[in-house]
Amino acid sequence: MVNEKILVVEDEELIGQDIKILLEDLGYEVVDLVPSGEEAISLAREAHADLVLMDIMLEGDIDGIEAAHHINNDLGIPIIYLTAYRNEEILERAKLTEPYAYIVKPFEERELRTNVEIVLNRHKAEKERIKLTEVTAKNEFLKKSLKEQETLLREIHHRVNNNMQIISSLLSLQSTQVKDKRDLDLFIDSQNRVKSMSKIHERLYQSNDLSSVQFAEYGMSLLNDLFSSHRAPPGIRLKADIENISFNMETAIPCGLIINELVSNALKYAFPNGQGEIYVSLMHNNDNKYLLTIKDNGIGLPTDIDFKNTQSLGFRLINNLTNQLDGKIDLDVKNGTKFSVLFEELKYETRAGIKETIVTAYQSRELRRHAKELFSNNIDNWGDMPKDLRELIQDLQVQQIENDMQKEELKRLRKEIIDTKKKYLDLYNSAPIGYFTILKNGLILDVNNTGASILGISKMGLIKTSFISFLKPDSRIKFNQNNKTAIENRQKMGYELEIVRAEGDSFKSYIETNPVYDKEEKFKEFKVSIIDVKRFIND
């Protein structure tokens, strides 16, 4: 039995009662029988009718056509006109209300049944098509929002990487003035630690997956940099066996820093004769754990040293990083030095939630399968509905279930995008680096708070002014030459300039100029980063 609610509007009581009996015999629920247009409008809303059978000629101030106009426009309820009139003028008025059908009195039971079934099924299919359109629009918004979030996250990783590269450059500049070997080693160690973290953000910025790092490639790059920065003798060999494991950023950074500390120690102290081997391994272990092994065949550590209780900054870092990974570290001093770190990948609910929110093709298939199961468990009696219409409605209802399942997901994602935008803007404006967007002729299009502070003028005061006007004459030549090289070679340029503040005092600055190109590969603008070197380096 069907359960659709039908409102009958007929001012002839006998005809109305006859229609009511016919409809109830067919299994429909007649919510009421009313004689006027005013009552029809009020009752259609209160009773949540699925269909209105409306007599065109009604007594009172509102005839059936006007009442149908209100019901259809305000409530979206389909109308079937009942009429004994064939007046062209009346029919033209009736057409303007877009009725679903006309039944001309007197009519037969079969005619009434056929028209009611067709109109109800047609209206149901149209409502489902509208819902499907809404789902499609929401899915498109979801895809656009995900892409926007990915762009923002990628830009954040890029900015963080830039900041770390500038810090590394500052350490490198300062190290040229250091004469004591012990102090120089401290600068090199600090620089290597910054580089190991910077490489994570660099790979995330370049990766298709912004949530994880392929550790094999990252680890080999890190090890090669360590051998290079410590100027390892040719007699010290590197043997690495790093499984291609994907780690999230929270796990990759401390793991990379542990490798940095232990390999650096081996390069500095394990081989006084310049001969030996360093072995680095990272493998899956049992129970979703990972085993990091770093060993050498050098002279070994002093027998009386307790690496878990020492004032050494390196060992303190290693222990803290192991604790950060919720791991366990062991030392074996037989035949050299061997450190073993057993740990699991860190799980962060926020990051895991974001990753689960992203609807991949596989997840979409699983979502549809689950929706079909829910639909099948709650399927109604289809009656004599035609097969093609039944299949259409089934598909649309499954789609609606999918939509319901995605509502919370979409809500979370929109909030995540808003939060990410705010974090990005806060990072951009409060970063210790001055960021500028500059045209080829030096005109400033955008600047963050730090950049404005460095030059001594408000952000609004800098927009549309020339960056070149803040440079000393020889620095202007260097600025233009490096910009030309950056455009020609399509690469970032780093160099020093002397900048004059608005107050008139000048300072040396480390600057990076990065050319940006449009979709047609034509030069668009420069992304410029500057830092007041004088704040960090004493002449």
* Beta-strand pair 493-500/434-438: unpaired
Tell me: pLDDT of 408 over 90: no
Tens digit of pLDDT for each residue in 3-44?
A: 788 888 888 888 888 888 888 888 888 888 888 878 888 888
Tens digit of pLDDT for each residue in 442-487?
A: 999 998 888 888 888 888 888 889 999 999 999 999 999 999 999 9
Mean pLDDT across 45-72: 80
Residue 104: which of 93, 116, 112, 96 has the closest Cα?
Answer: 112
CB-count burial class (<10 Å; 0-12, 13-18, 19+) for 45: middle
As a whole number of angstroms, the distance between CA 342 and CA 281 comes to 12
As a whole number of angstroms, the distance between CA 36 and CA 66 comes to 11
Say what the alpha-carbon torsion angle 341, 347, 351, 352 is, to the nearest 10 degrees: 130
Tens digit of pLDDT for each residue in 271-293?
A: 999 999 999 999 998 778 999 99
How many Cβ atoms from other residues are within 10 Å of residue 25's Cβ?
10
- In DSSP terms, 525 is beta-bridged to 516
The pTM of the whole model exceeds 0.75 = no
Report residue 174 CA to chain centroid gap: 39
HEC profile for 487-524?
HHHCCCEEEEEEEECCCCCEEEEEEEEEEEECCCCCEE
Tell me: pLDDT of 367 over 70: no
pLDDT, residue 34, reads 85
As a whole number of angstroms, the distance between CA 498 and CA 444 comes to 18
DSSP state of 471: B
Q: Which residues contact 175 (CB under 8 A, 6 or more apart)?
A: 184, 187, 188, 191
As a whole number of angstroms, the distance between CA 52 and CA 78 comes to 6
Kind and range of the H or E element at 473? helix 473-489
How many Cβ atoms from other residues are within 10 Å of residue 293's Cβ?
18
